């Protein structure tokens, strides 16, 4: 694809990355779901729960791309640092808001 090299819009890259991660998580979840029960495999149960949370966050991020609000903090509305989005493309809050949320 020739578009690939000239494509500098981070949004398209973010969407691709999110879709890739979503697929990965869904596949991983599907694999462990049959025995991911606290009584059968508590570790798998925990892992499945964290997959579900991440899947939800990725889906929300993809929705924000569609709505044109991706990259903006869902709490304070400020721009999320691109470096943060690179590490965590489904980040919903900026680092300041996130640290407040984690401390609370
Ligand atoms: Zn914020």
Using the mean position of ligand 1's atoms as its centre, give its distance from the Cα of residue 11 in Å: 19
Assign residue 77 the CATH number of its domain.
1.20.120.910
> What pLDDT score does 104 carry?
61
Residues 72, 81: Cα–Cα separation, whole Å: 9
**Segments forming the whole domain that contains residue 39:** 9-103
Using the mean position of ligand 1's atoms as its centre, give its distance from the Cα of residue 19 in Å: 24
Establish if 4 belongs to a structural domain: no
Using the mean position of ligand 1's atoms as its centre, give its distance from the Cα of residue 90 in Å: 14
Report H helices in 33-94: 42-67, 82-87
Using the mean position of ligand 1's atoms as its centre, give its distance from the Cα of residue 98 in Å: 7
Establish if 40 belongs to a structural domain: yes
Place of tokens 């025995």: 35
pTM: 0.84
Establish if 65 belongs to a structural domain: yes
Residues 35, 32: Cα–Cα separation, whole Å: 6
- C-alpha of 1 from chain center: 26
Establish if 54 belongs to a structural domain: yes
Walking along the chain (104 residues) 10 residues at a time, the average pLDDT comes out as: 46 93 98 96 97 98 95 95 92 94 74
Class of residue 101 by CB neighbours under 10 A (exposed 0-12, middle 13-18, buried 19+): exposed
Establish if 1 belongs to a structural domain: no
How many structural domains are present in the chain?
A: 1
Establish if 55 belongs to a structural domain: yes
């Amino acid at each position: 694809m020739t578009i690939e090299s000239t494509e500098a819009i981070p949004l398209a890259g973010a969407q691709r990355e999110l879709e890739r991660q979503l697929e990965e998580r869904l596949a991983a979840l599907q694999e462990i779901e049959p025995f991911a029960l606290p009584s059968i495999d508590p570790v798998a149960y925990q892992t499945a729960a964290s997959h579900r949370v991440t899947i939800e966050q990725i889906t929300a991020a993809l929705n924000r791309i569609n709505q044109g609000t991706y990259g903006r903090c869902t709490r304070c509305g400020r721009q999320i640092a691109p470096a943060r989005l690179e590490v965590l493309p489904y980040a919903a809050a900026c680092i300041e808001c996130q640290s407040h949320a984690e401390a609370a």
